[in-house]
Amino acid sequence: MRIIIILLFLSVGRQMFPQMKFRVSGLDPKAKYILLLDIVAADDYRYKFHNSRWMVAGKADPEMPKRMYIHPDSPSTGEQWMQKVVSFHKLKLTNNISDKHGFVSEKKFEI
């Protein structure tokens, strides 16, 4: 699944809105799975919101090392993942490079 979204980041961190929620199917009910969210840059530009729309605001900073967000219920069985909507509501976004739990940048992303 690919979703393209523009995200704003703050140094203190902000929960993502709208929240990422997924319904999972097709897993082996007895096997254990780790679910993670990988956010990657969609292009090489920074954006700003101006006159009610997003506009390119220049070249982006160099790509930071990848950080994937592991769902806090991981690992769980396929049965557990498939019986409810999986929400990444605890994911926080930040532009603080030293924050080990957030994602960093001012770019357009594919999720």
**Structure confidence at residue 96 (pLDDT):** 58
**Structure confidence at residue 27 (pLDDT):** 95
Contact (Cβ atoms closer than 8 angstroms) between residue 18 and residue 93: no
Average pLDDT of the chain, as a whole number: 75
Digit-coded pLDDT (tens) for 36-81: 888 777 788 888 888 988 888 888 877 766 677 889 999 999 999 9
CATH code for the domain in which residue 51 is found: 2.60.40.820
Count CB-CB contacts under 10 A for residue 46.
15
Range of the domain at 17: 4-110
Pick from 72-76, 94-98, 103-107: least confident: 103-107
**Structure confidence at residue 29 (pLDDT):** 96
* Three-state secondary-structure class, residue 16: coil
Angle at 9 between CA 111 and CA 60, to 5 degrees: 75
Number of domains in the chain: 1
Q: Does residue 12 register a pLDDT over 70?
A: no
Q: Per the confidence metrics, is the pTM higher than 0.85?
A: no
